[in-house]
Every structure is written in C-alpha cells, then in structure tokens.
Structure 1
Amino acid sequence: MTATESRAAAAARAVVTGGRPGRTPAPAPRGPRRRVALLPTAALVVGALYCVVPTLWILVAATKSRTELFSTSTYVPSLGLGLVRNVRDLSDYQGGIFWRWMLNSFLYAAVGGALASFVSAACGYALAKYAFRGRTVLFHTILAGVLLPQIVLAVPQYLLLSKVGLTDSLIGVLLPQLFNPYGIYLCRIYARAAVPDSLLEAGRIDGAGEGRLFFSVGLRLMGPGLVTVFLLQFIAIWNNFLLPYVMLTSDDKFPLTVGLYSLLRHGAAEASLYSLVITGTLLSVLPVIALFLSLQRFWRIDLVTGALK
C-alpha cells in the first residue's frame, strides 16, 4: 500500500470513529430514546391493521356461501365456489340492477371528477396568476369552504335544486360536486409553482390571448397536479352517500353506495341478502384500485420533472 492510500484509509477510519483513530463506533442508543423511536412504528402498525382488517374480512366473507357466512370462523375463507355463486346471484338480483348501480357510480364519478377538476384548475389558475381586488378575501372564503362538512350542505342543496326541478336527476347529483374548495386550493398552489410568469409574459408578447394561455400553457403544465385533483374528486363522488341519498328516489338512478344501502336494508328482513351486500362491497372497491394504479405513472412523471427542475 502506498503512502497516499495509507493516509486515505486513516482518514476514512477517523471519519467512521468520530475523528479519533482506534476508537470503536458508539453503540446504538438504548433505553428511553429507543422506546420513543418505536412509538411511531407501533402507531403505523396499528393504523395499518385498522385499515387492513376490515378489508380482509370483506375479502374472506365474499368467498362464503349464505350458510357458511354465519356458521364458519370469521377469517377462514371458503375453498368452494362461494364467490362465484355470490357474484352470479348478485348479477341476477332484480334483473342485474347492481351493474346499473355500478355504471351510475362510474358515470357520476368520472363526469363529476373531470368537470370538477376543470373548474378547480380554472379557479386556481386565476387566483395564482391574476392580481385583482379582493383576491385574498376570495381565496380565504374558498378555504373556509373546506371546513364545511357535506352533511351541512346536503339539505340546503336539495331545497335549492328542488325549486328548479333538478332532483332525482343526473344534474342534481353532479351540480353540487363541481365546486371543490380543496381542489381549488391544490390547483392554486400547483399553478403558482408549475406555471412560470415569464412563460405567460412571452405568450402575451407573441399575441396569445388569456384563454389560449390557459388552455395551451396552463392546463398542460398543471397536468400532473390535475391528475391528483381528479383522483381525489373521483373517490369522493364514488364514496358519496348522503347527497345522492337525498337527491334520488328512483332505484335505477342510485349509485353503488345508496344501492348497497337499500340492499342491506332489505337484508334486515331477509338474511340471505347479506352475502350479496358483502360481494357488492368487494366489487365496488375494484374500480377505485384500478384507477389508482393506472394513474400512478403521472405522479412519477411529476416527481421526475420536479427533480429535474
């Protein structure tokens, strides 16, 4: 070993041992500090179990027949064709109305999520890139809307839409979902970070109007953020129960949440319907999982773009 290599090795040992040659590294801390460090891990484990255990129960219960559901152990799945029979019985229930509920939920969530994302993008872009009187007050008012629970708004929305005859209709369910305060807040933050003012000024110098700048520049640069807003709004509409429960009266217009609730209510008098409710609940989760997995690539693109910037 040369003298240069010896000095480099000694310097490396000095860094590892805290600057003192021959000193062994300090052992890992034990006692109270280590116990405190384990508390976040334990909390994460408990939180994960709280989320996973009900999902696991749904998955196991959906594999059981009507008789096995109440006669076998809770977390022991059935090895027969219980899941296939349950899906077949669910499809045959009232002429396949479950799949109509599934289609309605997808229609409400997809159309409502897309329109709400566009409205949020337009509002967030305007709040981030235009200076006008009352902008701060307007933004704080929109932020205050995040604090209002849906249960407070459902009855006033129903009374308002009933006066114009929009209850028990697709528009009556979609219209209250278009304005999403939290989506506007996210779009404002993303527009401020992702859309450079210099790029907009260059477009104005070239003669581009404000509408063209928004559609050609703003929406494209805000694309990855809009994916997040769309996914959040899609899940919110997909899982929404109170608003469609108040607005709709026809069974063929119910989303999955209201449809499964009506099926569960009928199951109070007919226990055999419980298996159909459990199977329907399991099937209702699959589209959300598929959407989440399919949109992950846009988040990866956003992270890579942020790292390059």
Structure 2
Amino acid sequence: MSATPVDLVETTSRKPRKVVERRSAPRARGRVPLNVVLALLMVYFLIPFWWLIVNSSKSAAGLFGGGSSLWFADEINYIPNLIDLFTYSGGIYGRWLANSALYAIVGGVGATVLAVLAGYGFAKYTFSGRRLSFAILLGAVMVPTTALVIPTFVLFAQVGWTNTIWSVIFPTLLNPFGVYLMSVYARDAVPDELLDAARIDGAGEFRSFWVVALPLLRPAIVTVLLLSFVASWNNYFLPLVMLSDNRLFPVTVGIGLWNSTAATYGAAGGQSLWSIIVLGSLVSVIPLIIAFLALQKYWRGGLAIGSLK
C-alpha cells in the first residue's frame, strides 16, 4: 500500500524532532559545569555583602563576642546602630553621603555627556588628526587614574582649587574608556544610511544626532553612566589627596577616617566605632544597588534591525 500524504507528513516531522533531541542532550550536559562555576562565583561575590548585612545588626560587643560572623546574633541592633551612625560626631555621616551623591551625580552625568559627544564624533565624522587623537585616547585608557592624582593635585594647587568640591568633580569628567566604548558602539549601532536619510530630509547635524542617533545609543549611554557613577562614588585616593576639610569628604574617605581612628584608639568618647563602621559600609552600598536597579531596564534599548531596507 502506498503511503498517504498524512503518513509522509508524520514521517518527516518525526525525524527533525529526534535529531533536535539528540543534539540538545549533549548541550544540556555541557552546561552543567558552566552553571556550577557560575554558582560558585555568585556565592563568592555575595559572601562579603552577606557579611555586611549580618554584622551590621550586631553591637560592638557582638562583633567581637566570638559567635559566627556569617549569622545573626541573638540581639538585632539595626535601629540603634542606625541612630548611632547618623548622630555620631554631629551627624557627619549624612553630610558625607550627600557629598558622595553630589560628586557621583555631577561627575557621572558630566562624564557621560562628554563621552557621548566625543565618541559619536570619533565614530561618525572624519577630521584631520582623528587617528592620532584616537590613538592618544587608547593610550589614556591604559594609564591608571591613581597615577594622575599627584600631577592633578600640583596643577590644582597652582590655581587654588584644592580643598574644594571642584577638585574632586573636574578630574572625574574625563573618562577615556567611556569615550572609547561610545565610539565602538556608535560605529555599529547608528547606520550611516539613517543619518544620510535624515540629512536628505533637511535635518541638521544636531537634530540628526538628537532624534536619530541618541535613541539608538541608549544602552551604551546607560552603561557609561553607571560605570562613571560607580567610579565617582567609590573614588577614594583623589578626594583623600585633594581634600583636607572633613566636611567635604565623600563617604569612602569618611569611613576610612573612622577606621583609622577605631584601629588606633579602639573607642572614641566611650563609644566603639566598629559597629557603625560596618553599618556605614552597608549603607554606602545601597545607592549603587538602587542606581543599578533603576537603570537596568534602559539596557533593553532597541537596535537598528529592520530600520533599513
């Protein structure tokens, strides 16, 4: 008996399914070691954060009481430790947090704006000295920022800008890696045909950049903004060298000052600093977590797929 069309369809539909099942089985088994490594790395990076959460709930006696440092004590002291943190030394910790927010927001936004403009210019315009300028930019990426702190201090000392907020903000506006990242991303994410079409329609260079290119650059912009914000927030050596007034300190330098005091004297005014140092470190991380959670959705920016025919 000859095969019917239905039998032929069923036969042809079964073969690819078996092939897919045979191919997917080795792939699934091959992912197991990778998943195990990723799980171990996740635990490795989360342990310090878990240590902060646990020990921020302990009093100074609980920190050195001999119990487990990775589990809570019988008495939870989050509220008393928070009160001590924000009232110690006239509430200077709140001022340090505000200073860090100022430095990170102004420096991060400013660095992102400059990186977007410079990166777009490198990617979409041809000008004399472009290759040399880009080579210098790549060289600047390789230079550690800490190596530039002392020359920057000498320069700012000559113009009288040391011990001011500008001595911390202005150096963070220059982000060579952000410029490089924007240039690489803009070269592929913004097709030249879209810009040519906008120019044919009568749009100027600024309007083409604002209307056509900027929406396509959104994932890279958010990436540079987060990197700049985190780098400014975690900046330690630059404000340590530039600032001498503790009211201008960011939270990183302030906690470092408390740590030095606690290590030297153990207690200040009868109150141990260790418990509020641990809690202050935890509180200083929370703004970074909030910034990441608030901006991660903007990574889902649309690409230029399908925009050209």
TM-score of the superposition, structure 2-length normalised?
0.87
Q: What is residue 128 of structure 1 aligned with on the other side?
A: 123
Alignment of 1:109-258 (within 5 A): 109-205=104-200, 208-258=203-253
Inter-CA distance 244–16: structure 2 relative to 1 (3 Å threshold): same
One-letter code aligned to 1:66? A
Following TM superposition, by how much is the alpha carbon of 1:188 offset from its aligned partner in structure 2, in angstroms? 0.9
- Equivalent pair of 2:189/2:304 in contact (CA under 8 Å): no
Q: What is residue 39 of structure 2 aligned with on the other side?
A: 45
Inter-CA distance 142–25: structure 2 relative to 1 (3 Å threshold): closer
Q: Partners of 1:27 and 1:171 in 2: how far apart?
A: 58
Count of residues in Structure 1 that have an aligned counterpart in Structure 2 = 299
Q: Partners of 2:17 and 2:201 in 1: how far apart?
A: 59
Classify the secondary structure of the residue corresponding to 1:75.
Answer: coil
Following TM superposition, by how much is the alpha carbon of 1:161 offset from its aligned partner in structure 2, in angstroms? 1.2
Following TM superposition, by how much is the alpha carbon of 1:170 offset from its aligned partner in structure 2, in angstroms? 1.0
Q: What is residue 6 of structure 2 aligned with on the other side?
A: 5
Q: Partners of 2:12 and 2:156 in 1: how far apart?
A: 76
Classify the secondary structure of the residue corresponding to 2:122.
Answer: helix
Q: Percent identity?
A: 40
One-letter code aligned to 2:249? F
Q: Partners of 1:159 and 1:241 in 2: how far apart?
A: 18
Flag structure 1 segments of 5+ consecutive residues without an equivalent. none
Inter-CA distance 131–87: structure 2 relative to 1 (3 Å threshold): same
The answer to whether the aligner puts 1:270 opposite 2:271 as a matched pair is no
Flag structure 2 segments of 5+ consecutive residues without an equivalent. none
The answer to whether the aligner puts 1:14 opposite 2:15 as a matched pair is yes
Q: Partners of 1:221 and 1:18 in 2: how far apart?
A: 39
Following TM superposition, by how much is the alpha carbon of 1:28 offset from its aligned partner in structure 2, in angstroms? 5.5
Once the two structures are overlaid, the 10-residue window that deviates more, 113-122 or 209-218, is: 209-218
Q: What is residue 280 of structure 1 aligned with on the other side?
A: 280
TM-score of the superposition, structure 1-length normalised?
0.87
Q: Partners of 1:214 and 1:172 in 2: how far apart?
A: 32
Once the two structures are overlaid, the 10-residue window that deviates more, 193-202 or 179-188, is: 193-202
Alignment of 1:281-296 (within 5 A): 281-296=281-296
One-letter code aligned to 1:53? I
One-letter code aligned to 2:294? S
Once the two structures are overlaid, the 10-residue window that deviates more, 273-282 or 74-83, is: 74-83
Following TM superposition, by how much is the alpha carbon of 1:139 offset from its aligned partner in structure 2, in angstroms? 1.0
Q: Partners of 1:65 and 1:177 in 2: how far apart?
A: 37
Following TM superposition, by how much is the alpha carbon of 1:68 offset from its aligned partner in structure 2, in angstroms? 0.9
- Equivalent pair of 2:216/2:303 in contact (CA under 8 Å): no
The answer to whether the aligner puts 1:96 opposite 2:87 as a matched pair is no
Q: Partners of 1:214 and 1:7 in 2: how far apart?
A: 56
Q: Partners of 1:209 and 1:12 in 2: how far apart?
A: 55
1:56 to 20, 26, 50: 50
Inter-CA distance 69–192: structure 2 relative to 1 (3 Å threshold): same
